[in-house]
Structure 1
Amino acid sequence: MIEPQRLIELNGAAERGGDYVLYWMQQSQREAFNPALEVGVAAANRLGLPLLVGFGLMDDFPEANARHYAFMLEGLADTAQRLRARGIGFVIRRGAPDAVALGLARQAALVVCDHGYLRIQKQWRTHVAAAAGTRVLRVEGDVVVPVGLAASGAQVGARTLRPKLAALRDRFLAPLRRQRPRRDAQDLQVRGDVDLGDIPRLLGRLSLGRAATPVSGLRGGYTQARARLDAFIRTGLRGYVAARARPAEPQVSMLSPYLHFGQISPVEVALAVAAAPAPHADRDSFLEELVVRRELAANFVDNTREYDRYECIPAWAQRTLGLHARDPRPVLYSYEDLAAARTHDAYWNAATREMLATGYMQNYMRMYWGKKVLEWSASPREAYAVLLQLNNTYFIDGRDPSSFANVGWVFGLHDRPWPERAVFGNVRYMNAAGLERKSDIKAYARRWGAAALQ
């Protein structure tokens, strides 16, 4: 059963006659454990129609580049195979997602869509709901607890959201029944114009930023995501509490890129971890990150108009950083120096090389890495812009609600005031000594030395 709180009627329109039920896929890019897909199957079965899944592939998605597109397209190829094996149609067309959805909606009895929290995702859904001419039903399936149900308004931090999620979490941590479509979609005469059979060729034809190239160590798709989850439960979950802050000995799931593109369900991940034969403390620590911290980020983006601007940080943080904006900096680096890992800090350079080479960085290193950008920039506003650009360009999970929240955290978001110091004011400070206490950080620096990018 799909919890009714996940479903929202977007336009109040009536259903009409049509050739199929359309699931406009945008955020939840998966076949497995996808509530929006299963709502579509149920609706198609009720109406005696096949289900068609449609996806719009646009050039130049804001801040995305070839690295992000390659990972996404790998996932879509996996999803297409899995959908067709179930008798569900799948078409992918070039164009803005809302325009593609409206084109496919002309022959649809009703439209089901998934939910996204970013500004552009909301705009697309508003447009489709207004212009589809039939019922549009939105299904929120990429968080454990629906964001608006968990809390009304932006939360100041995890301490206020945690108890609200705890009161609701178990109600939404439930298996999702996979339904069989009664009408096969193979006879639908609806065609796409994108070939997922040759992704490198497709990437070459798209108008994309090329600042970050595709990586080989992380491949997209549900199959890859589930394999990583299973491997993490077998070998990484036990001891997670102690190991998660040790970048030299990575013991992490590396699921954030897959969660960003909706290639695996957070509910599926949470259920698997909760049932794993690992100590309670390790399971609870992982679920804190997956549910509380991740959904705090969704709450932030959903309720903050300027989530991608310096003005998103708390008033106290803006005030204290402003008071220290003219403090002498120990050193200043340009964006180009930072993006090339050309600083005096071997640990920071190592973290940047990991990001450049893999599209990923262990979370504790991300915290230190971000704090140093604030310390080495001419002003906090400049630091915010530089950090957000680095983050969104090179991380595969960049442009995610968690990314915007993580960048904000560097400047005091979801945190509290700390003892005052130069440059940072009352915003939390981090230094290399902290890294050295927690881990063999010198081994990490050796691993990601200059040769790592050669």
Structure 2
Amino acid sequence: MIHNSRIKPLNKKNINPRGEYILYWMQASQRTEYNHALEYAIIEANKSNKPLLVYFGIDTSFPEANRRHYQFMLEGLQEVKKSLYNRGIKMIIESVPPDKDILKFAEYASLLVVDRGYLKIERTWRNNVSQQIDCPLIQVESNVIVPVEVASSKEEYAAYTIRKKLYRKLPEFLHPLHTRTIRVSSLDLKLSFINYKDIPLDNVTLCLDRLKVDNTVPEVNLYRGGTTRALALYNDFLHNKIKDYHEYRNDPVKNWISNMSPYLHFGQVSPLHLIIKGNNYCKKHEIDKGFKEFFEELVIRRELSFNFVYYNPDYDSIKSLPDWAKKTLKEHENDTREFSYSLQELEDAKTHDPYWNAAQKELLLTGKIHGYMRMYWGKKILEWTSSPDLAYKYALYLNNKYALDGRDPNGFAGVAWCFGKHDRPWPGCNIFGKVRYMSSGGLKRKFKIDLYLKRIHNLEEASHVG
């Protein structure tokens, strides 16, 4: 069964006995595997002996989203629609703000199920719909392992404060989610009483051309969307990297990472699925240290970021920092900066630092920066910008605009970390004060960092050929 704490009514309406179907409003969990909201909707449909209809609304004006993000998302939705069809479930995808046309479909539903989103805009959508419909709206949480309010009732200070809380709760939630069969197919469901326009996804590129999205940032070829692609990458990670993950995960030269963050961002893969699959593989092959380190990243650190976004209303601004970080940055705001760059210079990777430029180019070319280099990238934006507040805005702007995993709890927490969030005070220095400092000298000492430059140069050359 699905744990009760994942399930939360968002209004107090009664089930509509005259409803034609159960309706699942898919938004954050864009997958058919290990999707608690989908499985809950199937349970309710089978209980009432009604078909299940799945709805997805594409907000083409989502803040800071562009062609790069929509391409990845639509590739995933293409797979979702086919998978649902094979299970006897009709899916409708519209180019309409998510909280608008769902109201028309909810009018004829017995019950509306939605997955959980954590950003302000996602919470606003759900709140708007909950107040306007005449049937229950049930939210089912599926994109974290431990539901955010179960993990903690407040914003946590750092990983060490949430770790114990998560470990206490994990045994309740680390269980496989079984796939259910729908009893009544919705494939032939007639919806002539609703005026809507379903978007065909046979050709994602053609679909994108027809949608009025921001085309200023092109799609990337290195990472393609969809659960099947995510699990193929993950299988490669398990077979070839997890054994030594604890040793090499920070090395941008070796690039020893799972690459799951874009898929987790769009809900195309479940963190629970990844942990169960990884745990089974590592037990069989007697892999301990690598899995523990991966568990720390995927569960502890990731769910700390969800805690941050859920409980801190200022998660997208420098106001979210701890008092000590805000104080020390303010005290050093007028420190002399050896280098100072405009947003355009940063965006174009035109600084004096070849390592920073390479990280920015990796972001531009692939939609991701290696985790360790992203920390360095954020720290240097703080060092080279006229004020901490402006640096914070620049870092969020660049990350949200170009990263496939931007506009995400992990992305907001990652930028905040560069400015002192979820960290401790360090010995003071110029500009940073007590916020942790990173230098190019550190990169040279720890890694054969010039090989990273070479890898990014080769990516750049390949993009020119393409």
**TM-score range, shorter-chain basis?**
over 0.9
> Does the Cα contact within 8 Å between 1:35 and 1:176 map onto a contact in 2?
yes
Aligned counterpart, 2:180? 179
Q: Report Cα offsets for 1:154-174 as digits up to 9, x if no partner.
A: 100001000000011121111
Aligned counterpart, 1:12? 12
Structure 1 SS opposite 2:200: coil
Q: How far apart, CA to CA, are the structure 2 residues paired with 1:192 and 1:86?
A: 22
Aligned counterpart, 2:160? 159
Q: CA deviation at 1:438?
A: 2.2
Q: How far apart, CA to CA, are the structure 1 residues paired with 2:369 and 2:190?
A: 44
The question of 1:222 aligning with 2:230 is answered no
Aligned counterpart, 1:331? 339
> Does the Cα contact within 8 Å between 2:382 and 2:392 map onto a contact in 1?
yes
> Does the Cα contact within 8 Å between 1:331 and 1:376 map onto a contact in 2?
yes
The question of 1:301 aligning with 2:309 is answered yes
Output aligned runs, 1:121-270, within 5 Å.
121-190=122-191, 192-270=197-275
Q: CA deviation at 1:437?
A: 2.4
Structure 1 window deviating more from structure 2 (202-211 vs 56-65): it is 202-211
Q: How far apart, CA to CA, are the structure 1 residues paired with 2:395 and 2:462?
A: 22
Matched residues, number: 454
Structure 2: gaps (5+ residues): none
Structure 2 SS opposite 1:195: coil
Q: How far apart, CA to CA, are the structure 1 residues paired with 2:28 and 2:102?
A: 13
Q: CA deviation at 1:452?
A: 5.7
Q: 1:379 aligned to 378, 387, 398, which one?
A: 387
> Does the Cα contact within 8 Å between 1:55 and 1:100 map onto a contact in 2?
no
Structure 2 SS opposite 1:110: strand
Q: CA deviation at 1:82?
A: 0.3
Q: How far apart, CA to CA, are the structure 1 residues paired with 2:259 and 2:364?
A: 16
Structure 2 SS opposite 1:448: helix
Aligned counterpart, 2:287? 279
Q: Report Cα offsets for 1:81-106 as digits up to 9, x if no partner.
A: 00000001100112110112212101
Structure 2 SS opposite 1:332: coil
Q: Report Cα offsets for 1:213-271 as digits up to 9, x if no partner.
A: 10011110111111111111111111001110110111111000000000001000011
Structure 1 window deviating more from structure 2 (270-279 vs 244-253): it is 270-279
Q: How far apart, CA to CA, are the structure 2 residues paired with 1:231 and 1:33?
A: 20
Q: Report Cα offsets for 1:95-124 as digits up to 9, x if no partner.
A: 110112212101101000000100011011
Aligned counterpart, 1:414? 422
Q: How far apart, CA to CA, are the structure 2 residues paired with 1:160 and 1:153?
A: 11
The one-letter code sitting in structure 2 at the alignment partner of 1:308 is D
Q: Report Cα offsets for 1:27-65 as digits up to 9, x if no partner.
A: 000011100000000000000100000000122111101
Q: Report Cα offsets for 1:161-206 as digits up to 9, x if no partner.
A: 0000001112111101111000011111236421111211221222
> Does the Cα contact within 8 Å between 1:237 and 1:278 map onto a contact in 2?
no
Aligned counterpart, 2:76? 75
Aligned counterpart, 1:24? 25
The one-letter code sitting in structure 1 at the alignment partner of 2:55 is G
> Does the Cα contact within 8 Å between 1:327 and 1:422 map onto a contact in 2?
yes
> Does the Cα contact within 8 Å between 1:115 and 1:138 map onto a contact in 2?
yes
Aligned counterpart, 1:438? 446
Structure 2 SS opposite 1:129: helix
What is the percentage of aligned positions where both structures have the same residue?
44
Structure 2 SS opposite 1:250: coil
Q: Report Cα offsets for 1:398-438 as digits up to 9, x if no partner.
A: 00000000011111011110000000000000011221222
The one-letter code sitting in structure 2 at the alignment partner of 1:86 is R
Could you tell me the TM-score, scaled by structure 1's length? 0.98
Aligned counterpart, 2:363? 355
Q: How far apart, CA to CA, are the structure 1 residues paired with 2:448 and 2:463?
A: 21
Structure 1 SS opposite 2:100: helix
Task: Tell me which stretches of 4 or more aligned residues in structure 1 moved more than 4 Å.
Answer: none
Q: Report Cα offsets for 1:347-396 as digits up to 9, x if no partner.
A: 11111111111101110111011101100101101100100000001100
Structure 1 window deviating more from structure 2 (351-360 vs 37-46): it is 351-360
Q: How far apart, CA to CA, are the structure 2 residues paired with 1:233 and 1:102?
A: 43
